[in-house]
Amino acid sequence: MSGLDVSVLLIVHRRPEETRRVFDAIARARPRRLFVAADGPATPADRDACELTRAAVQQINWDCDVAYDFSDRNLGLDTRVVSALNWVFASTDSVVVLEDDCLPHERFFTFCASILERYREDSRIMHVSGECYRATREGDCSYLFSKYPLAWGWATWSRAWSLFDPHMRTWPRFRAQPEAPALFDSDDERRYWMSTFERVHQDAAAKKPTSWDYAWYYACMTNGLSIHPAVNLVSNIGYGRLASHTFGASELSNRGVQSLEEELRHPEWVVRDRQADLDTFDRRFPGAILKQQRSLRHQAGRPGRWAARMFRRGLGRTHAFM
């Protein structure tokens, strides 16, 4: 079996079992170039798990140019991801990225490779995702265009990564433009992302820890579009006590994956799928929760609103007979 002509970056830390599963999926794809970046132990208790995790990614049994970047100290997830991508893009112009909790379908790799090649020089496209949250598959195209650069299994180019700024320095200018609220399709979505970007910008300015992915979302949303496959190609298997952020049970954990046709069917126009973005905000972000909360507030306020209406009506009748 010939190797896949694409570079893959695997980012790991302290989860040997999950890492083995993801690494096995990579090994079956046989990429010709593999980068592995590992964070260091956060506590002495993490040391054995980190060592086992690193051992799990060194069993290369295919023809592959491999490079390792193992940190001696704990950088934290955000710094480790950013430093790993900077390291990779010093020697390649595109890469497929997986963390140790993102288990891909075998079609994920060939899908990313095809999209990376097709849109290599197209500055309108910033990011390729392996996730899909479209409630129903529409049409016969193999992928859609979105504003959301979903990052549980993804790919991008150095030209796009060069626009990434963890400090989001352009945010104060952008938020004042009419294009800022126009980027979103609902009031909930606008409020959520405007407040999120504001918080990340302020935290970065105050030199507090920030989330790399939110800064990447901002870069992609304000500079172009992302591509999502028509079906979900990556499952997050990392929810649990060893996770950095995803601790509890969630509907997003261990989502099913599906196969995608070998011969990709390309959209005729580069146009964002608004319904897909609304579905994504509901299912991947707190859109559905915000709707439910608003509905509960509405229901809780019904007695008060009824009393107010009755009072106004009674007051009107009183005035009518004075």
Cβ contact 109:95 at 8 Å: no
Q: What integer is the mean pLDDT of 66-79? A: 97
Give the C-alpha separation, 283 to 251, whole Å: 9
Q: Which two tokens stand for residue 317?
A: 């009748």
- Taking Cα atoms as reference points, which of 276, 318, 286, 292 lies closest to residue 135? 276
Averaged pLDDT, 231-257: 77
b (16+ CB within 10 A) / e for 180-201: beebbbeebbeebbbeebeebb
Nearest to 192 by CA among 296, 277, 281, 272: 281
Mean pLDDT, range 263-292, rounded to an integer: 95
Residue with tokens 């197209």: 122
Which pair of structure tokens corresponds to residue 217? 């979302």
Average pLDDT over residues 280-305: 76
Alpha helices in the chain (DSSP H): 16-29, 47-56, 77-88, 107-118, 158-161, 171-175, 179-182, 187-205, 212-223, 274-283, 287-300, 302-320
Q: In angstroms, rounded to a whole number, what is the distance separating the alpha carbons of residues 96 and 116? A: 9
- Give the pLDDT score at 5: 92
Q: Does 3 score more than 70 pLDDT?
A: yes
The model's pLDDT over 180-198, given as tens digits with 9 standing for 90+, comes to 999 999 999 999 999 999 9
320: confidence class by pLDDT, cuts 50, 70, 90: very low
Averaged pLDDT, 39-65: 96
Enumerate domains of the chain plus CATH numbers.
1-100 (3.40.50), 106-234+259-285 (no CATH)
Q: How far is CA 176 from the centre of its chain?
A: 26
pLDDT band for position 304 (cuts 50, 70, 90): low
Instruction: Give the separation between CA 214 and CA 149, rounded to whole angstroms.
Output: 10
pLDDT digits (tens, 9 = 90+) for 60-71: 999 999 999 999
